[in-house]
Amino acid sequence: MLIEFDFHQCNIDGNQTLSTYANSSFSSRKKHVWYKQPVDNQTGKLYGEPVRSHSFNVVNTSWFQVALNHSSGYSSLENGWNNGGEPLFLTSVSLLGKGVIAMGVPVKRLTDRLGGINLYGGSLSLITMDGKLLLNGIPNTKFIYVNGTIFLQFMWPNGVKNFPCSNDTPETYKVDTDGKEYNVRCSTVEISGVQSVYALALPHEGIASFVYSKINYSHIALVVTMVLLVIPLVFFVSSMITNAQREICLHDKLIKQMEATQQAERKSMNKSLALVGASHDIRAALAGITGFIDLCLANAAPGSDFETYLKQMSLCAQDLLGLLNSILDTSKIEAGMMNLEEQEFNLADLIEHVVDLYHPVGMIKGVDVVLDPCDGSIIKLSQAKGDRGKLKQILSNILSNAVKFTVEGHVCVRAWVGKHDFETEILASTRKGLGKYVPRLFSDKNEGNGDVKAESAVRQNRDLVEIVFEVDDTGKGIPKEKQKSVFENYVQVKETAAGQVGTGLGLGIVQSLVHLMGGEIGIVDKEFGEKGTCFRFTVFLTACETQGAAMYGGTNSSFAIRNSSPKLGIRTPSPNLDGSQVVLFMRNIERRRVSQKFLESLGISVLVVDHCHHFPSALKKIQSKLNSLLNSSRRSDMSCRSDISSSSSKEMPLSAMEGTEHKLPFNRRKDTPSFNLLVIDVNAESFSELWRTVAEFRRGLHSTCCKVIWLDKPTSPCIDPKRLDSRDEILLQPFHGSRLHRVIKLLSEFGNLSQGISSSSESSKHPYGKTRLRHTQGNDEIQGYVSSSNERYSKQGSSSPTLERTRGRLKSKRKNKDGAESSNGEKPLIGKRILIAEDNKMLSILAITTATQLGADVEHCENGNEALELVCDGLKAQRNYDYILMDCQMLPMNGYEATRRIRIEEERYGVRIPIIALTAHTSGTEAMEAGMDAHLNKPLKTNELMEVIESIETKE
């Protein structure tokens, strides 16, 4: 039996798709068995157990019959048989006329979906062709069926209107309902095979109005964005405009300012020029006045009032000249005409000299002028090259100011070699390079470009050393706010300047000079509570160290090293008890402090006594210390005893051994007792009192060598030389610089060979028994002293370097001064033939006389041509000149040309006559290029001529 599934239906029931089917055989038609089975939504396959269901009466329904007879399926809208019979779209297909498969979709699903669409105020109605209403969304309407056509009937209160809807092509009608216009669109539509009609009513401007409303929003957004963009733009532009306006304004002001500046500069320039001219004129007039005063003085009766007045006038004129000179200096600096004149000099001497100059001035006021050697670097440097005069001027000016404005206390001058390496130097110079634009700390408006140039030139040299000076006084001081302006010209600090004269140019000049020498000047801040002002300035000098060493290298090489600076002298620090003991008793605090610091820096044990009451007790303390030491070491005691009584036979081998430094401390420990040096300022206490104390101290010492240096005032000596011990020395204040060094050299560590008893025995033999260290201004005394001490020291095989130095200097000085005298005796050029070519009569007489005095045989001619002729004649006659002195600027043939020709001529004879150029210019490069051997500056000087001739001879 064939079981057929004659009916098979799928329909969606709730969320579950169910398949309902029944088998049918026409044989058992009456009874069908129905099954229900769930269908997989994805695959369409049946799953699960078929459940037997109640039977449906479908066979008799029309659609079943139609579908059964149709070969190609059939679609219709039918009431469902499930769940209360809701309508379904049913699609059924017959199976070989024996069964039907139908698939149903509930209408409700479709209408729900359609109803859910947001039509923006529109509505939709749907009806099948056979009049079954599916959806009626359009209000006040209904579908009517007339003659096979479906109409949509609008029902208004005032009437009814029909619109045909069953056309295949969609038609659009305009309908006005409740004041609203609607577009109604009707057409046929096929929904899963069922012919239907739809009508869609949309408000006339429904979607458009929606778009319009959205457009408004976007417009607003756009406008807001635009506004937000425009506001900053406006702001920006306006600020730009304001800035531009301000800039223009500033430009305008700048231009005006620049004009004003230029005008001021021009004015100032004119003023300076006028000043230069005027001061020259004034000086000339002044010179006239002084000249006439002198003339009057010559005629005045000596001793008369008239003469005194004239002398007063002369003094006033001198003062005036001094003032004028300072003004002239300023104008020179302003005009940029100030140049450095470099020469070699001894820096330590220079500083000491200046300080010594002002010491008496200070003494009168009761102000002590102290030179602080600091770390001794200046003494080490010794020889330096620079503008001596200007440095002296700077130092004098500041020092004189310091002394002038200090009423009590002291003025301290410190100098040391600044730490200075090239990197900072380069930095400094680049900074200086920008200095034109960057306002400097000590800017000086008056300083010309020439200054800056000179400065950078100074800084480029590599051998430069920076010397730092400080002048520290305890005067009234300069108020903080005035400190910057004191360096400006014509500025005086009025509060302190009361009763003081001056143009106010001094510090201005000083500053310009310091700048000229590449340095800087300023006022150093003092600590709170300290009185006075401290000026500090730096200058750059070229160091000439080789020169300095050569100076000492006279006698003994080891000596030379040891004494070239005191600091080098003590490589092996001496133990306190064996070393020398120095007692300083001075009244002035600053000097005491400075001396102590310097001595201690050299490793010398220093005892300082600041008050006369403490002096005896201090001496006693030393005495007991020494005596206990002596008791502990008997040997030294012995040797010292012998020292006192006998001659220095024991010392001599010692001194000979002192050449080697390593042995020195050893020797001393063994044989030499410690050496005492008392430095006593007589002004601190009455001399007799002091003398008594010292004498007592001496008695108390059994054997130790003790030397006393009495410091005396140069103005009012109060020492009675007769009462002094033979070993004692009198030294005049100020006690610093070379005098301090001399005292240091008396100490055994520093090469004193004549210490102790040996000195006394030596000096007693000598007419200069009491070695006077009296330094006075007079040359004679120094010479006498120096020569005598030279003899004294040279007897012992070596001389004190200071003395050696002084002697050397004096000798050379004497040589310069008495050039004529010495040449009279020697006539070094005797037998030499010299040709002098010089067109100026006066200069030629000068040159001829100079050469003649040196013993030479002189011939003279007036120009290059003549010189050439004379030389040629000489060459022919085999009588050559030994030297030719040739002026360079002559007519018709000048010296250079003549030299070139002479060189050509003499080449043929194979000789070369030394030609010395005489120029008025400082540089001799042109002369050298022309073939000359040397050049001399006019006017001719005896010693320079001799130097040149000697150098030529040694060259040959």
Partner 1 sequence: MELVQIQRRLVDYTKSLFMEGFLDAQFLQLQQLQDDSNPDFVFEVVSLFFEDFEKLLNELTIALDQPNVDFKKLDSHVHQLKGSSSSIGAQRVKNACIAFRNYCDVQNIEGCLTCLQQVKQECYLVKNKFETLFRLEQQIMASGGSVPTIELGF
Binding string, 612-641, against partner 1, x = CB under 8 A?
A: ------------------------------
Shortest separation between residue 816's beta carbon and partner 1, angstroms: 8
Of 205-213, 757-765, 825-833, 932-940, which segment contacts partner 1 by CB under 8 A?
Answer: 932-940
Neighbours of 784 (CB within 10 A): 13
* Binding status of residue 783 toward partner 1 by CB under 8 A: no
* Binding status of residue 845 toward partner 1 by CB under 8 A: yes
Closer Cβ to partner 1, 572 or 943, answer by number: 943
Among 920, 928, 929, 951, interactor with partner 1 by CB under 8 A:
920
CA distances for 319 relative to 215, 393, 395, 764, 795, angstroms: 101, 16, 20, 49, 50
Q: Which residues, in sequence order, are bridge partners of residue 93?
A: 101
Binding string, 887-906, against partner 1, x = CB under 8 A?
A: --x-----------------
Of 118-126, 209-217, 296-304, 421-429, which segment contacts partner 1 by CB under 8 A?
Answer: 296-304
Binding string, 443-472, against partner 1, x = CB under 8 A?
A: ------------------------------
Considering only residues 188 through 247, tell me which ones interact with partner 1, judged by CB under 8 A.
Answer: none
* Binding status of residue 939 toward partner 1 by CB under 8 A: yes
Single-letter amino acid code for the residue at 338: M
Among 116, 157, 302, 499, interactor with partner 1 by CB under 8 A:
302
Ranges assigned E (strand) in 108-148: 123-128, 133-136, 141-146
Among 9, 564, 850, 894, interactor with partner 1 by CB under 8 A:
850
* Binding status of residue 817 toward partner 1 by CB under 8 A: yes
Of 146-154, 713-721, 723-731, 849-857, which segment contacts partner 1 by CB under 8 A?
Answer: 849-857
Of 229-237, 264-272, 363-371, 810-818, which segment contacts partner 1 by CB under 8 A?
Answer: 810-818
* Binding status of residue 820 toward partner 1 by CB under 8 A: yes
Closer Cβ to partner 1, 314 or 880, answer by number: 314
Binding-site size, partner 1 (CB under 8 A): 42
Among 48, 85, 115, 291, interactor with partner 1 by CB under 8 A:
291
Single-letter amino acid code for the residue at 336: G
* Binding status of residue 284 toward partner 1 by CB under 8 A: yes
What gap in Å lies between CA 174 and CA 258, rounded to an integer? 87
* Binding status of residue 824 toward partner 1 by CB under 8 A: yes
Shortest separation between residue 812's beta carbon and partner 1, angstroms: 13
* Binding status of residue 922 toward partner 1 by CB under 8 A: no
Shortest separation between residue 768's beta carbon and partner 1, angstroms: 24
Shortest separation between residue 821's beta carbon and partner 1, angstroms: 8
Q: List all residues 6 or more positions away from 39 whose beta carbon is below 8 Å from its beta carbon.
A: 10, 17, 18, 19, 45, 46, 47
First to last CA, the chain: 158
Closer Cβ to partner 1, 523 or 946, answer by number: 946
* Binding status of residue 810 toward partner 1 by CB under 8 A: no
Q: What is the 3-state secondary structure (H, E, C) of 656-688?
A: HHCCCCCHHHHHHHHCCCCEEEEEEEHHHCCHH
Shortest separation between residue 301's beta carbon and partner 1, angstroms: 9
**CB of 104 closer than 8 Å to CB of 89:** yes
Apex 275 CA angle, 271 and 277, nearest 5: 120
* Binding status of residue 779 toward partner 1 by CB under 8 A: yes
What gap in Å lies between CA 85 and CA 725, rounded to an integer? 158
Dmax (CA) of the chain: 190
Neighbours of 426 (CB within 10 A): 12
* Binding status of residue 840 toward partner 1 by CB under 8 A: yes
CA distances for 420 relative to 456, 470, 548, 883, angstroms: 16, 17, 21, 47
Among 227, 298, 364, 877, interactor with partner 1 by CB under 8 A:
298
Among 115, 131, 170, 288, interactor with partner 1 by CB under 8 A:
288
* Binding status of residue 843 toward partner 1 by CB under 8 A: yes
Neighbours of 927 (CB within 10 A): 24
Among 97, 131, 170, 277, interactor with partner 1 by CB under 8 A:
277
* Binding status of residue 295 toward partner 1 by CB under 8 A: yes
* Binding status of residue 558 toward partner 1 by CB under 8 A: no
* Binding status of residue 924 toward partner 1 by CB under 8 A: no
Considering only residues 310 through 339, tell me which ones interact with partner 1, judged by CB under 8 A.
Answer: 314, 318, 321, 337
The structure tokens 């096979």 sit at 148
**CB of 392 closer than 8 Å to CB of 382:** no
Residue 802 sits at φ, ψ, to 5 deg, of -60, -45
690-693 CB contacts, 8 Å cutoff, 24+ apart: 690/585, 690/612, 690/615, 691/723, 691/724, 693/615, 693/616, 693/619
Q: What is the 3-state secondary structure (H, E, C) of 289-341?
A: HHHHHHHHHHHCCCCCHHHHHHHHHHHHHHHHHHHHHHHHHHHHHHCCCCCCC
Residue 243, CB-side half-sphere exposure with 13 Å CA sphere: 6
Q: Identify which of 775, 740, 745, 773 has the alpha carbon closest to the alpha carbon of residue 374.
A: 740
* Binding status of residue 389 toward partner 1 by CB under 8 A: no
Query: Contact residues for partner 1 (CB under 8 A)?
Result: 273, 277, 280-281, 284, 287-288, 290-291, 294-295, 297-298, 302, 314, 318, 321, 337, 779, 816-821, 824, 840-843, 845-846, 849-850, 853, 889, 920, 938-942
